[in-house]
Structure formats: C-alpha cells, structure tokens
C-alpha cells in the first residue's frame, strides 16, 4: 500500500551543469541588436513588430500570474509540483516593465490617436480624448505594471519564504494577496488589452476584447508549461515528481481553455456581425479580405479545431509527442493571432511579414526566458513546505 505521505525523491535544485541562462541572454541580446538596427531601416515596422512580440511574452507572464492566484485562492493541490514554473515567470514582471519603454517612446508611430490632426473634427475620436491621450496612456501603464509587478514579486517571495520557514500560516497571506489580486488583475488586463491592441484602430471597440485577450493568453500558457516540463524531464529534472497525472491535468486545462477561447472569440465575432455597426464590422472586414482571410481561417483550424480534435480523447492527454505537437502549434497560432490583430493597421491589403517580426521575437524571447531561468535556478524547483504538496505527490504515486 502506498504511503499516505509520499516524499520527494528528485533533487529540488536546478542542475549546476545545465547553464541555459547565458544562452538565453546571449540570443536575446543578438536579437535586440538586430532589431535596433532595423529601427533605423524601417522605424514604423520596428514598432509594430516590437509591440506584437512584447504582447506575446507579456501575455504568458500575465496568464502565469492569474494561474498562481487561482491556485492559492482555491487551495488546489494538483499543480503544486509545477507551480514554480509560473511563479518564476511572474517574479520579474517589474523588470519586464522596462521593455514597455520603446512602445511609450514610439506611441506617435504606433497609435494614430496621438495625432491631433487625426482626432480633431472626428466626433468619435473627440469623444475618446479623455481616455485616449498620451499622458493618461503613460499613467495607465505605470499603474498596470506596478500592480502586476507587486503581485508577482510578493507571491513568489512568500512562496519561497515558506520553503525556508515551514510556516504554513503563510498560505493565508498568499490567499489574502490573491483574492483582491484577481480583481485588480481582471481590470488591469482588460484595460491593458484596450490600450495596446484595441486602440490601434481607435474607431473600433469591443466590450469583449478584454476577456478575448485573457482567453488567448491563458490558452497559450499551458503549452508553455507542458513544453517546459517535458524539457526539464528530458534533462533529468523532477522525473519522479511530475507524473502522468500532472501532465494529464495540464492537458485537460489546455483542452478546456481551447474550448473557452473559441467560445469567446466566436461570441465577439457573432455579436459584431449581428449588430452590423460600421465602426465595429470594419475591423473584421479588413481581416477577411485579401490574404488576411487565409490567416483568419488558419486560426480557426490551428488554434481551435485541430487542438480540439487531438486533445478530445482521454488517452491523447498522456501522449507526449502529440502534446508537444499541439503545444507548438498553439504557440505559433498565438503569435500569429497577435500579428493578425496588429499588422492590418499598416497593411490592409494582405499578409505582411518582416524580418523584424522575427528579430524582435527572438530578442525579447531570449531576455524573457533568461529572466525566467535566472529565477528558477535560485530557489527550490518545488515548494517543499507547501501544505498541499503531499496531496499533489499523491496524484503521482496513486495514479
């Protein structure tokens, strides 16, 4: 009979010989240097490519933040053994905020509403001046990242402190942070999505865009965690700690939010299609003409139909090769969808792909993952004194 209190049998320290941090930072620096050169060659393209890549990685960090808070507020145990992955993404959001600066400095090149000539004489735009103005935009970014940075840093700090002190009372503190944190997160995420993406076409609006961006981001988080878990186990990290049941749970969440994403994305489209208001329908019209229509249908298949069919079967959620394929597919579709949201602003006629799309993605991605591994290496890979750890391990040993 299995023990009621299973113990960790893996090393909980990141292997010293596995130094991926320098590689990540090195790749990131090279990508950013190439992107910086691209700024002088085509500054307008640089800003739109940078915005797309920045939003991609920020969405992963923000989805990690809400996952950690949900974990604490629900007192769940299924994900305790993999919680350090999302915790390591959220620890450095306050540092990641620095990469918002190029967008702030390039506002006049990205957002048409920053130009008085675009606003004056347009009754729709004049009505949005109290919200869409440069000063208030910058203030909002400071508020967003101050809240996210505090929540991420505090949640990680308290979790690590529990490792050191074995004080289970800290779980109450994590819950007290998470409860209002979820509310603040919901509001700031929605408004950030309005600012970064929806205001690119300032005439357009959708009351569902905030939850649409959340659904996109949360669906994309689980492929990231799945791929990182497989990579870690391939390098002999937590092989006996993260078991089949944990992988299954991640795949189940992945499947569930694939359905949720499709529901929200289609609901937004259907409401706008049914209302048939010109200011709203024009946004979709531009994405259903020319070669952009190919991307639109590719998203339908690549982000929903294919993952839905492949993950529907119970056994498929245990199939590592299939999970890797679907995870990579959805992440490619995630960056593609952000590209589909952003790029028609400067290329209505059809698909526009620039080498800057790749250099900004590589550059920011290298720094983003470098920050992640820097944090992950410093602390235990598993919250060893968390009161839910035993239940989480039981899922593996009793599977």
Q: pLDDT tens for the chain, 399 residues: list them.
A: 344 557 777 888 999 888 899 999 999 999 999 999 999 999 999 999 999 999 999 999 999 999 999 999 998 888 899 999 999 999 999 999 999 999 999 999 999 999 998 999 889 899 999 999 999 999 999 999 999 999 999 999 999 999 888 877 889 999 999 999 999 999 999 999 999 999 999 989 899 999 999 999 999 999 999 999 999 999 999 988 898 999 999 999 999 999 999 999 999 999 999 988 887 888 999 899 889 999 999 999 999 999 999 999 999 999 999 999 999 999 999 999 999 999 999 988 888 899 999 999 999 999 999 999 999 999 999 998 888 888 888 865 445
Structural domain contains residue 5: no
Residue 348 is predicted with a pLDDT of: 83
Task: Please report whether residue 305 resides in a domain.
Answer: yes
Q: Model's pTM, two decimal places?
A: 0.95
| Separation CA 360–CA 53 (nearest Å) | 6
Q: What is the pLDDT of residue 215?
A: 97
CB 263 within 8 Å of CB 214: no
Domain-located, residue 1:
no
Half-sphere exposure of 38 (CA within 13 A, CB side): 21
For 166-208, where are the alpha helices, taking DSSP H only? 170-196
Measured CA to CA, the distance from residue 316 to residue 318 in angstroms comes to 5
pLDDT (0 to 100) of residue 371: 97
Q: Where are the alpha helices (DSSP H) in 84-133?
A: 84-90, 93-96, 101-105, 107-110, 116-119, 123-127
Q: What pLDDT is recorded for position 4?
A: 53
Q: Can you give the residue range of the structural domain that contains 224?
A: 21-397
Answer whether residue 369 is part of any domain. Answer: yes
- CA–CA distance, 127 with 77 (Å, rounded to integer): 48
The answer to whether residue 71 is domain-embedded is yes
Q: Would 3 be classed as within a structural domain?
A: no
The CA radius of gyration of the chain, in Å to the nearest whole number, is 22
CA angle 310, 312, 317 (to 5 degrees): 75
Decide if 2 is inside a domain: no
Nearest to 126 by CA among 202, 13, 35: 202
| Domains of the chain: total | 1
105 domain-assigned: yes
């Amino acid at each position: 009979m299995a023990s009621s209190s299973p113990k960790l049998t893996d090393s909980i320290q990141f292997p010293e010989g596995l130094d991926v941090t320098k590689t990540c930072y090195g790749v990131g620096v090279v990508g950013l240097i190439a992107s910086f050169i691209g700024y002088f060659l085509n500054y307008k393209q640089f800003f739109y490519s940078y915005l797309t890549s920045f939003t991609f990685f920020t969405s992963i960090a923000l989805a990690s933040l809400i996952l950690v808070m949900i974990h604490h507020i629900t007192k769940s145990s299924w994900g305790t053994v993999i919680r350090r992955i999302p915790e390591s993404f959220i620890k450095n959001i306050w540092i990641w905020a620095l990469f918002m600066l190029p967008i702030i400095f390039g506002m006049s090149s990205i957002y048409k509403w920053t130009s008085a000539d675009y606003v004056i004489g347009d009754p729709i735009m004049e009505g949005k001046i109290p919200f869409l103005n440069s000063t208030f935009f910058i203030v909002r970014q400071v508020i967003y990242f101050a809240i996210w940075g505090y929540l991420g840093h505090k949640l990680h700090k308290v979790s690590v402190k529990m490792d050191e002190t074995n004080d289970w009372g800290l779980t109450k503190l994590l819950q007290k942070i998470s409860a209002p944190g979820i509310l603040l997160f919901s509001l700031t995420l929605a408004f950030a999505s309005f600012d970064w993406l929806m205001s690119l076409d300032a005439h357009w609006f959708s009351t569902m865009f905030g939850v649409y961006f959340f659904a996109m981001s949360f669906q994309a988080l689980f492929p990231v965690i799945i791929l990182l878990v497989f990579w870690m186990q391939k390098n002999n990290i937590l092989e006996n700690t993260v078991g089949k049941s944990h992988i299954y749970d991640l795949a189940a969440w992945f499947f569930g939010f694939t359905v949720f994403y499709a529901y929200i994305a289609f609901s937004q489209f259907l409401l706008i299609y049914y209302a048939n208001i010109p200011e709203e329908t024009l946004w979709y019209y531009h994405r259903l003409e020319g070669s952009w229509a190919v991307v639109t249908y590719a998203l339908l298949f690549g982000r929903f139909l294919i993952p839905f069919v492949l993950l529907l079967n119970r056994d498929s959620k245990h199939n590592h090769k299939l999970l890797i394929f679907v995870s990579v597919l959805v992440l490619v579709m995630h960056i593609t969808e952000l590209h589909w949201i952003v790029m028609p602003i400067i290329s209505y006629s059809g698909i526009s792909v620039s080498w800057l799309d790749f250099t900004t993605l590589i550059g920011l991605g290298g720094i983003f993952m470098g920050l992640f591994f820097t944090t992950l290496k410093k602390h235990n890979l598993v919250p060893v004194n968390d009161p839910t750890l035993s239940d989480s391990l039981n899922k593996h040993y009793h599977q």
